[in-house]
Amino acid sequence: MKFPYFYQQMLGFLSVIIMLLTISVVSIVLFARNTAIRGTENQLFSYAESIVDVNLEAEQLANFQSLLSNQGVTFFVFNQNGELVFPNLPDHIETRVIPEEEERLRNGERVSLTTQQADLYGNPRETAYVYLPYFSNSAGDYAGFVAVSAPVSQIDRQMSALKRNLFNAFLISTVVAILVSFIFARYQVKRVNELRQAAHLVAEGDYDVRLEHRDRDEIDILSQDFNKMIHALDLSRQEVNRQEERRKTFMQDAAHEMRTPLTTINGLLEGLEYDVIPESQRLRSIQLMRKETKRLIRLVNENLDYENIRSNRIMLNKHTLPVSEILDEIKEQMTTIAESSNNTLQIDSLEGLTVYADYDRFKQILVNLIKNAIQFTENGTIKVSGQKTDKGTRISIQDTGIGMTEEQMKNIWDRYYKADVSRTNTRYGESGLGLSIVQQLAELHQAHLTVESQLNKGTTFAIEFPDSKV
Ligand SMILES: Nc1ncnc2c1ncn2[C@@H]1O[C@H](COP(=O)(O)OP(=O)(O)OP(=O)(O)O)[C@@H](O)[C@H]1O
Ligand SMILES: [Mg+2]
Residue 188: CB within 6 Å of ligand 1?
Answer: no
Protein residue whose Cα sits closest to atom 8 of ligand 1: 372
Name the residue with higher pLDDT: 201 or 34.
201
In the predicted model, is pLDDT for residue 36 greater than 90? no
Q: Do 71 and 150 touch, CB atoms closer than 8 A?
A: yes
Examine the pLDDT at 470 and tell me if it is beyond 70. no
Is 322 close to ligand 1, i.e. is its CB under 6 Å away? no
429 CB less than 6 Å from ligand 1? yes
Ligand 1 proximity of 401 Cβ (cutoff 6 Å): yes
Residue to probe by mutation, ligand 1, list 420, 435, 436, 461, most atoms within 8 Å of CB: 435
Residue 421 pLDDT:
66
The reported pLDDT for the residue numbered 425 is: 45
Which one of the ligands is nearest to 408 CA? 1
**AA identity, residue 120:** L
pLDDT of residue 51: 87
Ligand nearest to the CA of 431: 1
Grade residue 289 by pLDDT with cuts at 50, 70 and 90.
very high
Kindly identify the ligand whose nearest atom is closest to the C-alpha of 437: 1
Quick check: CB of 182 below 6 Å from ligand 1? no
With beta carbons less than 8 A apart as the criterion, state whether 371 and 434 touch: yes
- The pTM (predicted TM-score) of the whole model is 0.55
Q: Is the CB of 370 under 6 A from ligand 1?
A: no
Cβ of 402 less than 6 Å from ligand 1 = yes
Which ligand is located closest to the Cα atom of residue 415? 1
pLDDT of residue 98: 60
* pLDDT value, residue 423: 59
Task: Give the percent of the chain with pLDDT over 90.
Answer: 48
Q: What is the pLDDT of residues 299-326, one digit of tens each?
A: 899 888 888 888 888 889 999 999 999 9
Separation of CA 436 and ligand 1 centre (Å): 10
376 lines ligand 1 (CB under 6 A): yes
pLDDT at 157 over 80: no
Q: Is the CB of 433 under 6 A from ligand 1?
A: yes
Residue nearest to atom 9 of ligand 1 (CA): 372
DSSP label at residue 422: G
Cβ partners under 8 Å of residue 345, min gap 6? 331, 334, 335, 338, 370, 374, 382, 384
Segment 378-400 shows an average pLDDT of: 96
* Nearest atom within ligand 1 for CA of residue 429: 27
pLDDT at 399 > cutoff 50 = yes
- Mean of the pLDDT values across residues 329-337? 92
3-state secondary structure of 224: helix
Distance 454 CA to ligand 1 centre (A): 14
Please name the residue whose Cα sits nearest to atom 7 of ligand 1.
372
Mention every residue, 6+ apart, whose C-beta is less than 8 A from residue 233. 202, 207
The whole-chain average pLDDT of the chain stands at: 88
pLDDT at residue 459 in the model: 97
Which range is least confidently modeled, 147-161, 237-251, 293-307?
Answer: 147-161
CB of 261 sitting under 6 A from ligand 1? no
Element containing residue 128 per DSSP (H, E): strand 127-135
Sign of the CA dihedral with 150 first, then 152, 157, and 158 last: positive
The alpha carbon of 306 and the centre of ligand 2 are apart by a number of angstroms equal to 14
Residue in 296, 304, 369, 376 to alter for ligand 1 test, most ligand atoms within 8 A of Cβ: 376
Q: Number of C-alpha atoms within 13 angstroms, CB side, residue 156?
A: 9
CA of 74 to the centre of ligand 2 (A): 124
- Evaluate whether 364 touches 437 at the Cβ level (below 8 Å): yes
Q: Which residues pair with 57 in a beta bridge?
A: none
Mean pLDDT for 16-27 is 90
